[in-house]
Structure 1
């Protein structure tokens, strides 16, 4: 299961409960596109990995030093090798030339190869730290473009470049069952996984500045939920049903995602609901132990 990045969660919440700045809107669109691209590549990988013996680490983060980390979208232990995949879901065309990437207008784009190489080198160093020298020597790092509408002009035929037109060919070679027990390698990598990113920080906003109300968590609608009866609400847009307890749990998750240092109180939950949940109902669930603040 792939977890939604905290920054994307925060911006998603603030789209409904605040006003995003221009830069925040751009960041939201970028993160949302990237996350959807990762989900799409997960589906593709799953198709080739079914019935195989493998390990798949998603959104793998590890510490490089006290203030730096490396994040890898997909880390696969397959065929007794380590394969990494940096997923890109760009909605614009690119051109490759002279070992660099450009927009189609000729303007230089960021160095994608440098990003992938940094991941590979940092991972090799991590593996050597755990005495997995042979695994470090067989790291295969890939750059995967998943948007079928994107065109990459002058794309070289490098084995580590994956696009929709060659994804079947590339993954059929990479996705193999492990012949040897790789559990110790997997356990070491999991032991080095960062539980929290250095970049996961609270929002620069006071609780009192948040817009109150009850909203859907399954779609992009900013319209408040309709009350069907005292224990059931429904989204006008996607028709998803929500029971009161589920709504309270979602409100609690929102507050913790925005700022995990806020001490959540019943008053905060009632205020964030916009008064649409009664104090008696809230205290009933707390008393029954169904809702833990």
Structure 2
């Protein structure tokens, strides 16, 4: 989640912690709900496609991605919030694929009824309007449900609904350009709003659903950065995947593997021995120790010694004091 001025820089969207951990578990043979995983994966890919498209929309904007906010005891998520000179744009992005039917406010995928994404967006808009009002902002909100996948079709869709299909994105871009040109310049007040929303953003989502997993049950080795497989071989200062041929610097792969272990098992004390086991003993302890010493701080002595990030060490020092 972050803020950018589109005319100056492009901010890459970050995947959710849940998706990152599920991807790691899936690569290492953990029991993962495939339906949940692929829904998150496809949603993330759709949001990335939207970001790529919006990066080509000229104009003065402040974009805040991946907001999780709370107001009046209710939580609501925003895929992309765009602040313009005279209004706020709320974009709900869906990466649905295939034929869907809208019938009397009910949505169907084949014969299966699904959650109404329009109602979801409208509830989000209501909560956002109330939140903005409480912050002293009366900017109008313009909401759009974006179906980013070109292979998506919705039957019985009224043209009056705030829905944008892939085939309409070019025309929608022209509309945004005209609105931006007539809405005036952005000011410090707009920037303060974006910063305040970032401050209110909740980092930890209560919607995350991770399966139970244990260290002993997961496959050990180095996960390929290209295909996510574990058939990598080490030679000199590089590793290479036997499946897809992806190559990666050894130190980079080791640091990534260390951080994977820290993410999945924050309670485990990181040591040379632990990481040697975590990567399937594919690299010597001497090399692992060198990477740990460069990127982490060693605390403790003897068997209790372990590596931490500097921020962790400061927190522990504060607690001890």
Quick check: 2:255–2:291 contact (8 Å CA) kept in 1? no
Q: Return the match for 2:86 from 72, 77, 80.
A: 80
Cα drift, residue 65 of structure 1: 5.8
* Cα distance in 1 between the residues matched to 2:244 and 2:81: 34
Compute the TM-score of the two structures, normalised by the length of structure 1. 0.87
Figure out how many residues of one structure are paired with residues of the other and give that number.
Answer: 281
Matches within 5 A, 1:240-259: 240-259=246-265
Rate the CA distance shift 1:203–1:95 in 2: closer, same or farther, 3 A: closer
**Deviations, residues 136-185 of structure 1 (Å, cap 9, x unaligned):** xx111111111111111121113520101212222322352652312121
Where does residue 151 of structure 2 map in the other structure? 149
Where does residue 225 of structure 1 map in the other structure? 232
Q: Which has the higher contact order (CA 8 A, sep 6+)?
A: 1
Q: Return the match for 2:118 from 98, 107, 113.
A: 113
**Deviations, residues 85-131 of structure 1 (Å, cap 9, x unaligned):** 111111221112222322344x4321212110111111112212211
Q: Return the match for 1:61 from 64, 68, 72.
A: 68
Rate the CA distance shift 1:267–1:200 in 2: closer, same or farther, 3 A: farther
Quick check: 1:69–1:198 contact (8 Å CA) kept in 2? no
Q: Return the match for 1:269 from 266, 269, 275.
A: 275
Where does residue 37 of structure 1 map in the other structure? 46
Q: Return the match for 1:128 from 133, 146, 156.
A: 133
- The DSSP-based 3-state class of the residue aligned with 1:48 is coil
Rate the CA distance shift 1:156–1:188 in 2: closer, same or farther, 3 A: same
* Cα distance in 1 between the residues matched to 2:36 and 2:113: 20
* Shift >4 Å, 4+ stretches: 200-203
Cα drift, residue 260 of structure 1: 3.0
- The DSSP-based 3-state class of the residue aligned with 2:55 is helix
Where does residue 207 of structure 2 map in the other structure? 199
Quick check: 2:30–2:213 contact (8 Å CA) kept in 1? no
* Cα distance in 2 between the residues matched to 1:113 and 1:202: 27
Quick check: 1:88–1:146 contact (8 Å CA) kept in 2? yes
Where does residue 236 of structure 1 map in the other structure? 242
Higher deviation after alignment, 209-218 or 258-267: 258-267
Rate the CA distance shift 1:268–1:202 in 2: closer, same or farther, 3 A: farther
Aligned-pair RMSD on alpha carbons?
Answer: 2.1
Rate the CA distance shift 1:16–1:108 in 2: closer, same or farther, 3 A: closer
Where does residue 22 of structure 2 map in the other structure? 11
Rate the CA distance shift 1:63–1:261 in 2: closer, same or farther, 3 A: farther
Q: Which runs of 5+ in 2 are unaligned?
A: 1-11, 298-307, 309-321
Compute the TM-score of the two structures, normalised by the length of structure 2. 0.80
**Deviations, residues 49-102 of structure 1 (Å, cap 9, x unaligned):** 4xx221111111112366x53211111112431111111111221112222322
Higher deviation after alignment, 31-40 or 240-249: 240-249
Rate the CA distance shift 1:91–1:180 in 2: closer, same or farther, 3 A: closer
Q: Which runs of 5+ in 1 are unaligned?
A: none
Cα drift, residue 20 of structure 1: 3.1
* Cα distance in 2 between the residues matched to 1:189 and 1:19: 36
